[in-house]
Amino acid sequence: MLKKNKLSIHILHRNRIDNLFKLLSSLSPIAKFNNIRIKVFDDSANSNLYEKFTLLKISFKNVVFVFNKKNIGHDQNYIKSLKEFESQYLWVIGDSYVINLASFNKIISKLENNNYDLYILNTGNRLKKNIKINRDLETVIKEFTWQITLIGSLIYSKKIFKNINFTQLKKFKNFPQVGIFLDFVSKSKNFFYINCNPLFPLKKVSYWRKYAFEIFLKDLPNALNYSFIKNNISLKNKIIITHLVESKFLSLKSLFFISLNENIIKNYFKYEIYLNKFFFNFLIIYLIPKFLKKIIVNIFNLKSFINESWKKN
């Protein structure tokens, strides 16, 4: 059991209240047992959700809800959540997950018995199982930065924020957590990697898919340009390409979905410097007629629905 004021969990929410209910249902009992503070930062600015939030408040009395009067966007909501915690540690997560109890208990054990300033988590189970902790700065950046693009991959100590320039973080569009991570590891080696995946994803409508190329091939490189590695072109490219490969962002399945909203050939030539090794994936998608792409995407969706129904039964 964690001591009081040891850990806060802040949840970034926007218009996914059914998923939020599932997350809180999985999180609330263990949070009560471990004296964990939970805050939900709602950026929906949607009066239609009022009744549902009223029910959430009744159901989860140990949860604090913070509402933005108007939509302030992902980055500002994230930064706002960083400024409003009082515990020793803070974990910021998205709204479309449920807790993996076994992995979460492993995190609690580490927090009980250690005193690191930063914990890196294998959220999404995207990092290699046999990854070794190496304190060499360039190796740390190369191994972990691409993973940090995923919200929920870091647990922060309050100490980290004593010298954080929150105005500077605004320059890391869509990736403020990457700015915090790079700033920290450039100055300290007091971090620890916990090889566990504490969150199981829920089905959701992705906010980023419509703008995927811009986010991961424009905003991410720009974010890295505001860090101390801005002049290390080789390292920056390695981070971006590793993310593309390991996140499966440009797998054939992913490209089928993205191609319904974006001109993938136009984007291929726009960001060709990062996309050469994915040429044949782009070519295959380009050669398939749009009506057939829609059929294939519907098949993927149907398969996903069947799998979810099978799990429930």
Q: pLDDT averaged over the chain?
A: 89
2 part of a folded domain = no
89-130: pLDDT as tens digits: 999 999 999 999 999 999 999 999 889 999 999 999 888 766
Q: Which residue has the higher pLDDT, 164 or 131?
A: 164
| Claim to verify: residue 167 and residue 270 sit in the same structural domain | no
| Claim to verify: residue 18 and residue 131 sit in the same structural domain | yes
Q: Which amino acid is at 204?
A: K
1 part of a folded domain = no
Q: What is the pLDDT of residue 165?
A: 84
pLDDT above 80 (res 74)? yes
242 part of a folded domain = yes
pLDDT above 80 (res 132)? no
| Claim to verify: residue 140 and residue 240 sit in the same structural domain | no
Q: How many domains does the chain have?
A: 2
| Claim to verify: residue 59 and residue 167 sit in the same structural domain | yes
12-29: pLDDT as tens digits: 999 899 999 999 999 999
For residue 313, what pLDDT band results from cuts at 50, 70 and 90?
very low
First to last CA, the chain: 33
Among 146, 167, 201, residue at a domain's last position: 201
Q: How far, CA to CA in Å, does 223 sit from each of 46, 182, 270?
A: 30, 10, 18
51 part of a folded domain = yes
48-71: pLDDT as tens digits: 788 888 889 889 988 999 999 899
220 part of a folded domain = yes
| Claim to verify: residue 170 and residue 302 sit in the same structural domain | no
241 part of a folded domain = yes
206 part of a folded domain = no
Range of the domain at 253: 211-312
| Claim to verify: residue 181 and residue 161 sit in the same structural domain | yes
* CATH of residue 130: 3.90.550.10
173 part of a folded domain = yes
